[in-house]
Amino acid sequence: MIEALFSYDFLQNAFLSGLIIGVIAPMIGLFIVVRRLALIADALSHVSLAGIAGSLYLSQQVVFFAGLNPVYLGMAAAVGGSLLIERLRRVYRNFEELAIPIILSAGIGFGAIFISLAKGFGSDLVGYLFGSVSAVSRQDLTVVAVLAAAVLVFIYLFYKELFTLSFDTDYSRASGLNGGWIQILFMVMTALVIGASMRIVGILLVSSLMTLPVASAIQVAKSFRSAMVLSVILGETSVIAGLVAAFYLDIAPGGTIVVTAILILLAVLGGKRLLGLRHPEAEEEAA
C-alpha cells in the first residue's frame, strides 16, 4: 500500500482527508457526547443526505449543478439542519430531544424523494452513504483541510467556554456566560465536520466516528483534556486501520473504520473489566 500511496493521487487524497477528519470528528464529538447530544450528529448527517441527493438529482436537470460538488449542498443542508435543531429545541422546551427525530425524519424524507426523482441509487450515492477510497478528489481534500482549520480555530478559541457550558449549563447561565451564540456556532461546526467527513466514512457512519472513539476515551480518561487527546488517538487509529483494510479488501472505508472503532471500544471495555478498573458511575450504582 505504501507504493500505491505514492503512485496514486486518489489514495493520497483519501488518506490525508482521513487523517484530518480523524482529528476533528472525535474532538467535536467529545463535546457532543458529554452533553448527551450524541444523536444530533445522526440527525445532521441524515439531513446532509437530503442535500447530497438533491444535488445529485439537480445535476441531472440543471447544467449549473452538474459541475457542483454535491458535498457543498450536503454541507449546506447540514448547517441549515443544525440551526433548525437549535430553533426546535427552544420551541419544545420540555421535549428538547424531539428536535432530533423531527430533523432526522425530514432529512430522510427529502433524501428519499430526491433519490426517487433521480431514478434510484447510482454508485455515486453509495459512495456518499458508506464512504469511498477512490472518490476523494484534490478539491475534496482542500475543502476538508479548510473546514478542519475552521473547526480547530473554533475549539482553540472557545475551549474554556465550551467546557464550562458542557459541564454545567445552569451554572454557566448563572455566572453570566452567554452561551446562546456559542451554541449556535458549535452546531454549525458540527455540521461542517459532518460535511468534511462524509466523503471518507459516508453519511450513515459519520456520527460513529464522532461518538465511538469518545465512548472509548471517557471510559479511561480522568480529565477532559486527556479525554480529548485519547479520543483523537483512537479516532486516528480507527481511520488508518480502516482505510488500509478498505484498500486491501476493496470494501467501503466507512464500514472498516467504524468496525475498527467498535473493536477498540470492546477492547477498552474488556480491558477495564480484566484490570478491575471501575467507572465512577458503576461505583455509584454499587453504593
On whether the CB atoms of residues 199 and 71 are closer than 8 A, the answer is yes
Q: Which of 102, 159, 241, 245 binds other proteins (CB under 8 A)?
A: 159
Give the alpha-carbon dihedral of 250, 253, 258, 264, to 10 degrees. Answer: 70
What is the DSSP code string of 143-198?
HHHHHHHHHHHHHHHHHHHHHHHHH-HHHHHHTT---HHHHHHHHHHHHHHHHHHH
**Total residues at the site for other proteins (CB under 8 A)?**
36
Q: Nearest approach, Cβ of 93 to other proteins (angstroms)?
A: 15
Closest to 124 in 3D by CA, of 40, 198, 64, 28? 198
DSSP state of 250: T
Interacting span for other proteins (CB under 8 A) from 5-13, 88-96, 153-161, 264-272? 153-161
> Which of these segments, 69-77, 103-111, 155-163, 243-251, binds other proteins (CB under 8 A)?
155-163
Residue 93 near other proteins by CB under 8 A? no
DSSP summary character for residue 133: S
Contact region for other proteins (CB under 8 A) — 159-167, 244-252, 253-261, 264-272?
A: 159-167
Given 218, 232, 246, 268, the residue binding other proteins (CB under 8 A): 218
Q: Is 223 in the site for other proteins (CB under 8 A)?
A: yes
Considering the rule CB under 8 A, would residue 276 count as an interface residue with other proteins? no
Strand, coil or helix: what is 179? Answer: coil
Positions touching other proteins (CB under 8 A) are 34, 36, 156-161, 163-164, 166-177, 217-218, 221-227, 279-281, 283-284
